[in-house]
Amino acid sequence: MRRPTPDPVGPGQESVWDYPRPPRLERVDVRVTIDLAAVTILDTDDVVRVVETSHPPVYYLPAAAFEPGSLVPTSGSSFCEFKGAATYFDLVRGDAVRERAAWGYPDPSPGFEQLVGRVAVYAGGMDRCTVDGEIVTPQPGGFYGGWVTANLAGPFKGIPGSMGW
């Protein structure tokens, strides 16, 4: 499939089509919050993100920064050709359980060692996820875990017709 035409980049925006493949890991100076069941279960400025061509960034957050008991290991795994084998977590707050809503790489591939002890979260299952106070939109399609913010220009992988990108 042919690469799509990137959306125009506005002032203060970055194009996901300028991100590299293979992906790059980078520390970013932002504050991330996650709310579940009307409670903030994470508030941290210790943030790294992974950027990859056509994808909004995936934010990796310290597992230790989550409210105690909210991050529960669960069954299942997957494999990323770049980052290695992933394990999954349920996110829990009281009676609210979001199954397999987070994942991490306990023994990541070379170049991604900063992911040890960190997890990423699917924004779609949360009440609210923010980056520097802006409420994020989940990456389209439900499979990928990127977070869309106003500073990004797409189109984003996950929209209909993007399987071959």
Task: Identify the domain containing residue 115 by its residue range.
Answer: 25-149
The tokens describing 149, both together, are 């913010």
Residues 6+ apart with CB under 8 A from 64: 117
Domain CATH code at residue 89 = 2.170.150.40
Mean pLDDT in the chain?
96
- Number of other residues whose CB lies within 10 A of the CB of residue 124: 14
Task: Answer whether residue 123 is part of any domain.
Answer: yes
- CA–CA separation, 30 and 28 (whole Å): 6
CB 49 within 8 A of CB 60: yes
- CA–CA separation, 103 and 72 (whole Å): 10
Rg (CA), the chain: 15
**Average pLDDT for 112-139:** 98
Task: Answer whether residue 34 is part of any domain.
Answer: yes
pTM above 0.85, yes or no: yes
Give the confidence band of 164 by pLDDT, cuts at 50, 70, 90: confident
pLDDT tens, position by position, 3-38: 899 999 999 999 999 999 999 999 999 999 999 999
Give the confidence band of 87 by pLDDT, cuts at 50, 70, 90: very high
Tally of domains in the chain:
1
3-state SS, one letter per residue, for 50-68: EEECCEEEEEEEEHHHCCC
Task: Answer whether residue 137 is part of any domain.
Answer: yes
Task: Answer whether residue 3 is part of any domain.
Answer: no
Task: Answer whether residue 8 is part of any domain.
Answer: no
At 135, give phi and psi (nearest 5°).
-70, 130
Task: Answer whether residue 7 is part of any domain.
Answer: no
Percent residues over pLDDT 70 in the chain: 99
Q: Is the peptide bond before 155 cis (omega within 30 degrees of 0)?
A: yes
Give the confidence band of 163 by pLDDT, cuts at 50, 70, 90: confident
- CA–CA separation, 17 and 7 (whole Å): 9
Inform me whether the pLDDT recorded for 1 exceeds 70: no
Task: Answer whether residue 117 is part of any domain.
Answer: yes
Inform me whether the pLDDT recorded for 105 exceeds 90: yes
**Average pLDDT for 86-93:** 98
Task: Answer whether residue 156 is part of any domain.
Answer: no
Going 30 to 34 to 39 to 45, the CA torsion angle's sign is: negative
Side chain identity at residue 102, one-letter code: A
**Average pLDDT for 72-88:** 96
Angle, vertex CA 74, rays to CA 72 and CA 77, nearest 5: 130
